[in-house]
Amino acid sequence: MKGVIVLEKEISQAVIRRMPRYYRYLNELLEAGVERISSNELSARMHVTASQIRQDLNNFGGFGQQGYGYNVQYLYDEIGNILGLNTTHNVIVIGVGNLGQAIANYNFGKFGFQVVGLFDVKPSLEGKEIRGIPVRMLDELPEFAKQNKIDIAALTLPKENAETTAVMLSSLGVHAIWNFAHVDLDNVEGMVVENVHLSDSLMRLSYSIANYDHK
Amino acid sequence: MKGVIVLEKEISQAVIRRMPRYYRYLNELLEAGVERISSNELSARMHVTASQIRQDLNNFGGFGQQGYGYNVQYLYDEIGNILGLNTTHNVIVIGVGNLGQAIANYNFGKFGFQVVGLFDVKPSLEGKEIRGIPVRMLDELPEFAKQNKIDIAALTLPKENAETTAVMLSSLGVHAIWNFAHVDLDNVEGMVVENVHLSDSLMRLSYSIANYDHK
């Protein structure tokens, strides 16, 4: 059992989508020194109904007592556990262009994500260092994967190379992809994938602009 | 009326979230020279049920004929119109660190998003050019906004400065923010905001890893 949380029913994607947001707000409360918060107060801060918050948390057993509100540190830790943040994740970045460099420089460390390797195919990038980590050539990845535990590969490379790279990663025992390439990677056996499509997001903004203007 | 699409009912956020994905797949079909596609074929490619596709498109009037499938170019154009992509959007980037530079270099041009200005507060960045556009100091923004039409501001800056900047943008007549700062900007009057929280996405991946391992 190893102390993991056992989910007795399938949790909906919508609930999962909201959990990191709760985590982020609770982190802000902690930083502000808040120890206890009612679901109504949390609701007002987050623009989500108190009933929604209670329902969401009840999926995981609920973490408050009626009338006493939530202990912020406890709720933060529990949501962290739900999100699998109670362990360190080693991350490699494949594709060290602007976006790859931005990812490599991003401060995910406080959530336990640690960049351990950078890979590209461009010889001019070889040996360039970001936060003390040298860029390696992609053909060194199989050897690197033997020597290092890799939990997540961030793909910041052209969409043409994304699927081949995903298949290679799978063969090397890497089973999670944070995909920034402009293609959905939903077909690789045994791989969990989180797609970040920046242009999709920009199009949703465009939709909002078009519909806001006409109101 | 100006030829805009009039929405007779509120379209759900889930539908809106899927539209850019349809648009992306249709773009790939167009590039592959496909002229017509059945909802079943589109469904198989997209891993969405054919009935879901029909329902989603029916929100906007539907664009296929029973038994004839969809004309790819027509559907692509119509979804583009729905998403407000039938017009050019001028974009400025505020915060020209790694992520800001990645955004400035990203190829959104084919969807009509054009970067017209780059702003930062760091004097060492002043005059640095990305794709021929010089980095200006943030205090030049009011004058720039008088001389140039700005449709969207991408905020790639520390969360501490995000809300102040949003309020300033609003006062300058900029009413849409593509927000990468690690804070939700949902409180600025009259502003449409699309939040991109990279760490939320990484946490969802962590959740998938934790729950995949235990299956």
Nearest chain A Cα distance for residue B139, angstroms: 25
Q: What is the pLDDT of residue B65?
A: 66
Chain B residues with CB under 8 Å of A212 CB are 175, 192
pTM over 0.90? The answer is no
pLDDT at B47: 84
Pairing state between β A113-120 and A133-137: parallel
Q: Contact at 8 Å (CB) between B12 and A199?
A: no
Burial class (CB in 10 A: 0-12, 13-18, 19+), A27: middle
Q: Could you give the angle at the alpha carbon of A56 between the alpha carbons of A55 and A59, nearest 5°?
A: 90
Do the beta carbons of residue A131 and residue A105 sit within 8 Å?
Answer: yes
Q: Where does the pLDDT of residue B66 fall: very low under 50, low under 70, confident under 90, or very high at 90 and above?
A: low
For residue A116, count CB atoms less than 10 angstroms from its CB and return exposed for 0-12, middle for 13-18, buried for 19 or more.
middle
Predicted pLDDT at B108: 87
Strand partners, A71: A36
For residues B54-81, average pLDDT: 85
Dist. CA A194–CA A190, nearest whole Å? 13
CATH code of the domain made up of B89-200: 3.40.50.720
- Block means of pLDDT (10 residues each) for chain A, length 215 residues? 49 87 92 91 88 87 74 93 94 96 88 96 95 96 97 95 95 96 85 93 94 58
Structure letter (DSSP) for residue A181: S
Task: List chain A residues with CB under 8 Å of B192.
Answer: 205, 208-209, 212
For the segment B99-115, the average pLDDT, to the nearest whole number, is 91
For residues A57, A77, A64 and A37, what is the CA-based torsion angle, rounded to 10 degrees? -110
Res. B124: pLDDT tops 90: yes
Beta strands in B11-140 (DSSP E): 36-37, 70-71, 89-94, 113-120, 129-130, 133-137
pLDDT attached to residue A58: 86
Q: Would you kindly state where each structural domain of chain B is located, as residue ranges?
A: 13-82, 89-200
Which among B85, B182, B207 is the nearest to A206, CB-wise?
B85
User: Which of 17-56 (B) contact A at CB < 8 A?
Assistant: 17, 19-21, 23-24, 47
- Average pLDDT, integer, range B30-48: 90
Residue A213 confidence (pLDDT): 52
pLDDT of residue B215: 39
pLDDT > 70: percent of chain B: 92
Rounded Cα gap, residues B174 and B90, in angstroms:
11
Q: Is residue B44 a contact partner of residue B26, using CB atoms and an 8 Å limit?
A: no
The Cα of A65 is separated from the nearest Cα of chain B by a number of Å equal to 26
pLDDT for B9 equals 58
- Please compute the mean of the pLDDT values over residues B121-133 and round it to a whole number: 95
Mutate: best of A76, A174, A189, A203, partner B, most B CBs <10 A: A203
Retrieve residue B58's tokens: 């029916």
- Among all chains, which residue has been given the structure tokens 């909201």? A18
How close, in Å, is residue A67 to chain B by CA atoms? 28
Least CB–CB distance from B4: residue in A85, A178, A214: A214
| Cα–Cα distance for residue pair B13/A215, rounded to 1 Å | 17
pLDDT band at B211 (very low <50, low <70, confident <90, very high): confident
Pairwise CB contact (< 8 Å): A102 & B98: yes
User: Phi/psi of residue B137, each to 5°?
Assistant: -80, 145
Name which CATH class applies to A13-82: mainly alpha
Query: Residue B130 above 90 pLDDT?
Result: yes
CB contact under 8 A, B175 and A211: no
State the pLDDT at residue A57: 87
Is residue B37 helix, strand or coil? strand
Rounded CA separation B52/B29 (Å): 19
